[in-house]
Amino acid sequence: MKSFLIGDFEGPLDLLLHLVKQSKMDISEIKIVEITEQYINYLKDMESLNLNIASEYLVTAAELLEMKSRYLLPKVPKEEDVTEEENPEEELKRRLIEYEKYKESVSSFRELEENRSAYFTKTPEKKELYTTAKLENTEALTANDLLEALKSLLERKSYSKPLNTKITKKELSVSDRVDKIRSVLAKQKEVEFLSLFEEITRPYIVVTFLGILEMAKSGEIILKQDKNFGTILLERVD
């Protein structure tokens, strides 16, 4: 079995997900006490090899120990509960499930990128040079159309190199981005697709893109393009 070093992981959640799979457990079955011990033991093994451990791994270790202590402390009687706190195990499971979805999404994007590299393109030309017909169905946009628009943005921003995949303390979720996009559309009925990508980092791009697809699928928004290779707009459905 291959031995994984600390540098093989993209961050603490990546290491935790590896430990869960290595134990042949389902995320829904993890025990906070067991996973915390495995995580701490792994960091100790890395220290014994004189390998530097990034501070983010140590921060997560502290969080796991805090979760473990909350789990082991006696439960407060219901009548004394002021606020209902999330179960530490459920909190960890939720974070790992969201991270696993993120990794799967990144893998899908990478596969799309590899497939796209097998195609050759030509400089876009105005459709009007060949026909006088108007683009009637402005809503028939596909995920590939959105990816092409996003790819053009990255090229203009000189981000053709692989994006940074380092997991930081700031966690992103699709639901958070959907809420943010809703707040933008609450103030204006239409918004440009590319204007929603304020940050050019892989996690931000992934959750924003998935959020837009989710809203389009549910019929909450309509994707429009006034002409071939034109600006893509998101329109709120009232």
- pLDDT score recorded for residue 164: 47
**Model confidence pLDDT, tens digit, residues 59-88:** 888 888 888 887 777 666 655 544 556 677
* CATH code for the structural domain at 134-236: 1.10.10.580
The mean pLDDT of 40-67, rounded to a whole number, is: 82
Range 107-129 average pLDDT: 61
pLDDT tens across 191-207, in order?
998 899 888 788 888 88
Residues 3, 100: Cα–Cα separation, whole Å:
21
144 vs 2: which has the higher pLDDT: 144
237 close to 203: Cβ distance less than 8 angstroms: no
Task: Return residue ranges of the chain for CATH 1.10.10.580.
Answer: 134-236
Question: Greatest CA span in the chain, whole angstroms?
Answer: 76
Section 10-33 average pLDDT: 82
pTM of this prediction? 0.39
Whole-Å CA distances, 140 to 130, 182, 222, 227, 232: 21, 22, 10, 12, 11
